[in-house]
Amino acid sequence: MSADTADPGQPERFTLHHDAGSALGRGWRAFRRLMGRRWAKILAVLIALPILAYFILWLLFARGLPSAETLLTYEPALPTTVRDIDGEPVHQFARERRVELDFAEYPPQLINAFISAEDRNFFSHGGLDYAGLAGAVVDYVSKVGSGERARGGSTITQQVAKNLLLGDEYSITRKIREAFLARRIENVLSKEQILELYLNQIFLGRNAYGVQSASRAYYDKDVDQLALHEMAYLAILPKAPSNYHPERHTERALARRNYVLAQMERNGFISAQERAAADAMPLGTVRGPRESIRNVGGYFVEEVRRTLVQQYGEDADDGPSSVYAGGLWVRTSLDLDMQDAAQTALRDGLLRYDRGRGWRDPGLTIPIDGDWQRQLSAADYGVGYDEWRAAVVLSKESGSATIGFTDGTTGQLPAGNAAMPKRGTGQSAFQALRPGMVIAVAEQGGAWGLRSVPEISGGFVAQEVATGRVLAMQGGWDVRGGEWFNRATQAQRQPGSTFKPFVYSAALDNGMTPASIIVDGPFCVWQGAALGQKCFRNFSGGNAGPQTMRWGLEQSRNLMTVRAANQVGMDKVVRLAARAGLTQADGTPYPAYLSVSLGAGDTTVMKMTNAFAMLANHGRELTPTLIDYVQDRNGKVILRADTRCAAMENCNAPDWDGRPMPRPPLRTKQVIDPMTAYQMVHILTGVVERGTATTLRDLNRPLFGKTGTSTGPTNVWFVGGSADIVAGVYMGFDQPRPMGGWAQGGTLAAPIFKQFAQKAFADMPVVPFRAPQGIRMVRIDRRSGRKVFGAWPNDEPRAAVIWEAFKPESEPRRTIRRDEIAREARPAPRPAAAQAPRQEQPDDSDFLQSEGGIY
């Protein structure tokens, strides 16, 4: 518009245009023209919808998913393996049986079998098999509302995501989350790492987690020993192990196995001839593996488990070193030969006491109209001996009963093999049997005979003197059958006379000697107006007058013990006992009552055995231990009982540095004077030689010990041993009641120790008790305690002259000559007319062999 023609009343208008030559401008105009068309808008919407859907799915499902990076450090639950004193595996604590292998340890053909069965495109897809996923969706839609479960369509990567990170929830939500996570896993881990996780984690039935564990469970082989048809069978199990049970669903398992073999041929992994040969093979599974780990140890191993649970927890949630998931390696002090000797000796002793009291009904019944075999296995009735078996009465006729066993077999129990009376009734045991009763039986005369599990029980512990390591432990008849109460460590019992050595040890610490004279006579104390006067008595009644301390302990005289405790002071007695580990259950010292000197304070057989081991260890403190050391799954030691190396410089040096070899420090402190401890051990050898435990004399080795019988008697004890091994045993009812007036430690408990020692000590060298520095060995008259000149001790148990151990400057000042010993031991002279002609005086050896010096 020109200026001279413009209307001054109209506003001016300007239009801006993009540069027609700009590429951006041209593209923008082209896009606008394109979007103006209908088909372009439809295409744009179709492209945007999947992107938007993916974003929405990510917001709803992918946020908060576990990080795939956690699989790089994933550690599957592994069982804890317990080893014995020689390092041999003896037990496993496991809820999931699993053995972890590296990928390279799996045979290639085994990997091919699993890929053919589960995910033939595993090495080519990126975590998702879209064709299989689409088929799974169609299957799911077709089964909605039917109650049937649709096929999964999951790849191996998705199964790893489900098993390790998501769980086994059956839902669309879980499948979507599984797909997202599978993609992430493929970006973090290699195919080999994913397969390794899968093969180590997958459940394959028979409580087997991982292929190596399943190989053992089904074929009793390692994976590198499997044949082709065996590999194919294991490969069919991940989907549903129970559907392909080798005995219950044999035909179905064979068909599925052969399908996997056909897929392996199709994928080029095997030839047609190999497939045909494998097709012709039976499943060939075994009923169960021969256990490479015997799962033995009973109460000992159960105590190890309790200790580990207390220290590290039970499950993975409790920490990385938990008992049932941490894969610990535990080295213990369990000596299997001693453990076998201990449990057999205790069971035999309990059975000897129970014999003649009739058959005891265990009070267990199960239904027999269904799967009685499984019910019997679940009853878990502990019968003790290996040759005894748990059985259930299936039916009974007039002359015999049909019984069934946990393996499904049956047998006959004739009435004559169950003729003993039922305890507490007038009928025979056979008459009392009813269908469904769980009983103990053993083979007898070509059939089966009824057996009775004793009601009385007890505990046994064997301990190494030098270290305190527990070598054997038996806490009752049988740890099976729910009998988890360990009487060796948990039963608080009165020890009776086994406490007396610590009373006399306090006396030795306070001026007395083994030759000190103590009156074995009436002793009463005034306990106050409320309790009145308390008078003590000997077990057998009566008294013997003044006697030596040695005699009083050898013969277990109560009156001499309480008199010595009263003279020394009970406060000193309970303090010494506390230093030896003998305290109340809460760890506080016993009250300073005279009755405690006779064993009225409760303790456990573990504590008492450890206290006697301290005496044999020259009074040095010992802590009973069952575990030597614990390693985590990577081999790092995380617990060690012997910590001396930590206190030594260069203890773990890789090479000699030219300096003297480091000497380990002493483990523990001195809690009892070493000379006092030796004096007490020396006295206690007399208990075996001529006291209350003479039944042990024919073991023909230096032994010390003490019997004990508590009031009632409700418990009988023996604790003692050699210079290397100390053991303790008690017997008693769980609900304390009298065992019978004839029951004594020397007649019931000491024979149990003897049976144990006959086996446990058989190949051990004979080692004497070594005296510590300062001890003086003096010849004394065993009866009077006076020093002897002119006569010598010999090997006779009741020799008149013996060696006695004294501290410096404490030996008897009084002396006795050889002819005085002869006069004291010789009968009163006859009248002169009747006397025989005088003979030559015999020498010392002749005299000592002819005179017993009997008390």
Output 330 or 8, whichever has higher pLDDT.
Answer: 330
- The mean pLDDT value for 785-797 works out to 89
Q: What percent of the chain has pLDDT over 70?
A: 82
Calpha distance 315→317 (Å, rounded) = 5
Question: Based on C-alpha coordinates, what's the Rg of the chain?
Answer: 41
Q: What is the pLDDT of residue 211?
A: 94
Q: What is the pLDDT of residue 164?
A: 61
∠ at Cα 232 (229, 233), nearest 5°? 90
Is 118 designated active site?
yes
The predicted-structure confidence for 215-250, as pLDDT tens digits, reads as follows 999 998 999 999 999 999 999 999 889 899 998 899
> Can you say whether the dihedral through the CA atoms of 548, 549, 550, 552 is positive or negative?
positive
Q: Are 400 and 365 in contact (CB under 8 A)?
A: no
Q: What is the pLDDT of residue 516?
A: 95
Task: Tell how strand 787-789 and strand 329-332 pair up.
Answer: unpaired
Q: What is the pLDDT of residue 851?
A: 37
Structure tokens at 12: 């001016």
Before 713, cis peptide (omega within 30)?
yes
Burial class of residue 562, CB neighbours in 10 A (0-12, 13-18, 19+): buried
Neighbouring-strand partners of residue 474: 460
Is 400 designated active site?
no
Neighbouring-strand partners of residue 332: 627
The predicted-structure confidence for 576-594, as pLDDT tens digits, reads as follows 999 999 999 999 999 999 9
Structure tokens at 595: 């009755």
∠ at Cα 465 (730, 636), nearest 5°? 105
Pick from 796, 770, 798, 759: which is nearest to 782 by CA? 798
- What's this model's pTM, rounded to 2 decimal places? 0.82
Q: State how far the alpha carbon of 636 is from the alpha carbons of 86, 566, 639, in Å.
A: 19, 54, 9
Of the residues 100, 118, 265, 303, only one is catalytic, namely 118
Calpha distance 588→574 (Å, rounded) = 10
Q: Does position 286 have pLDDT exceeding 70, yes or no?
A: yes
The predicted-structure confidence for 619-668, as pLDDT tens digits, reads as follows 999 999 999 999 999 999 999 998 887 777 777 777 777 777 777 777 77
DSSP string of 126-139? SS--HHHHHHHHHH
- The mean pLDDT value for 13-42 works out to 65
The predicted-structure confidence for 378-433, as pLDDT tens digits, reads as follows 887 889 898 999 999 999 998 899 999 988 899 999 999 999 999 888 889 999 99
Which helix (H) or strand (E) covers residue 411, if one does? Answer: strand 410-414
Q: State how far the alpha carbon of 558 is from the alpha carbons of 239, 308, 554, 570, 605, in Å.
A: 73, 42, 11, 15, 21
Q: Are 351 and 345 in contact (CB under 8 A)?
A: no
Of the residues 116, 321, 457, 497, only one is catalytic, namely 497
Q: Does position 545 have pLDDT exceeding 60, yes or no?
A: yes
The alpha carbon of residue 746 and the mean position of all alpha carbons in its chain are separated, in whole angstroms, by 31
- What angle separates helix 250-266 from helix 228-235, to the nearest 10 degrees? 110
Structure tokens at 829: 């002279």
Which helix (H) or strand (E) covers residue 312, if one does? Answer: helix 298-312
